Structure 1
Amino acid sequence: MIAMDPRQARTRAVLQEAVLETVERMPLADVSVAALARGAGISRDTFYRHASSVADVLADALENRLDAAIAEFTTFDGIARERFERAEHRLFAHVAEHRRIYLNSMGPGLAEPVHGMLVGRIESALADYLDEHPDVAPIAAGHLSRAEHHALYAAYGAAGTVGVIEHWLRDGAAGDADDIARSTLAVSAPWWWSS
């Protein structure tokens, strides 16, 4: 990966902070590029050198906030069940911490870049887990390879989890994030954390 120029990194950080502050106060659909650029103290031209839309900046900013939880899942070196429990609790705690931002990103579902970021990050973490633990996943009869099964399982797990997040947000993200995490784990296939 090519290192980002320090000025570019500063501009990206300022944009991300500006979008998080703005979308916490108002719906994403109401935030214009011009208003966000003004709030970040940059020109529209500079904005478009860093992003194609306000939603893309928001997805990047939320992804940066989510990275610690994802990193903990990928590097956890304990009991598999605990790995999934901790990750699920961290994920829903992240959404709860940024509740207003996620709620303001709904219309009625999450804005596509935000939805895609969540699905992509979770799917990638699950796929990596299956690469490290290839024997935990059942292989159904048929002609799919183990890799194809793993890709399907990771996609299904990620999309289901983000579906729960969207449902929770449609209800105003009321209730305890830990309760939502426990319920999500309860409907997850237990083979994920088998030996």
Structure 2
Amino acid sequence: MRDALATTLDTLPFERITVVLLTKRAGVNRSTFYQHYATTSDLLIDLVNVRLDETGLAEFDPFELDISSEQPPEFVTKLTDFVESARPIYVSKLTTSAQNTLCVQFMAHLSSVFTHVLACRKPDYVSPLVFISAPALAGSITGPIWAWLQDPDPPAKEDMEGWLWKVIRLALRTRQERYMAREGCPGPVSLN
């Protein structure tokens, strides 16, 4: 059913897609659809979550992040690639409930990624602050991403990647400075 929805979204706006159309394209009956989903919005939310999981955002090695580099790492590119490919879904005329669910689930996914990143940066310093810092970082980039999606004349993907990476670098740098100050270490190399 997810595949049927994905291919249908290539030709029709979401608001014109019905359960009848999807079940015909998927080769299942309506009762099968309703065993899994209450509405087409629920199926769309499921599709977005599966596609987000398939990006591999949560599978990168946080130790490979070079916060002194201005070049966005691969995971930022994967994120913007996903958002750009999902633009038609996110800008569909969804119900407010579906939009809110997609936004919250997107933030939760990013929060789990950043929890992993922050906890791995200094494994000997895992504290409750990680579980505050990670959602704060996820929220700080979700807002600009949502604005990018809604913009009828959006900035280039490469520009968005650069801006997102600056926010992420700043958060990681701040956390590193706090850790180093607590441990009495010299400060990190200054970032532009």
Measured at CA, do residues 135 and 72 of structure 1 come closer, stay the same or move farther in structure 2, by a change above 3 Å?
closer
Q: Is the 8 A contact 1:23 1:104 kept in 2?
A: no
Q: Is the 8 A contact 1:99 1:173 kept in 2?
A: no
2:112 pairs with one of 124, 139, 159: 124
Structure 1 residues without counterparts, runs of 5 or longer: 1-14, 138-144
Structure 2 residues without counterparts, runs of 5 or longer: 177-187
Q: Is the 8 A contact 1:55 1:114 kept in 2?
A: no
1:36 aligned onto 2:16: no
Q: What is the RMSD computed on CA atoms of the aligned residues?
A: 3.2
What percentage of residue pairs aligned between the two structures are identical? 21
The alpha-carbon deviation at position 61 of structure 1 amounts to: 2.1
The alpha-carbon deviation at position 92 of structure 1 amounts to: 0.6
Q: Is the 8 A contact 1:96 1:173 kept in 2?
A: no
Match of 1:170 in 2: 150
The alpha-carbon deviation at position 128 of structure 1 amounts to: 1.9
Q: Which runs of 4+ in 1 moved over 4 A?
A: 105-110, 134-137
Is the deviation greater in 153-162 or in 31-40?
31-40
| TM-score using structure 2 length | 0.71
| TM-score using structure 1 length | 0.70
Measured at CA, do residues 91 and 173 of structure 1 come closer, stay the same or move farther in structure 2, by a change above 3 Å?
farther
The alpha-carbon deviation at position 108 of structure 1 amounts to: 7.9
Provide the aligned length of Structure 1 versus Structure 2: 172
Match of 2:55 in 1: 68
1:146 aligned onto 2:127: yes
CA distance in 1, matches of 2:16, 2:140: 28
CA distance in 2, matches of 1:37, 1:16: 11
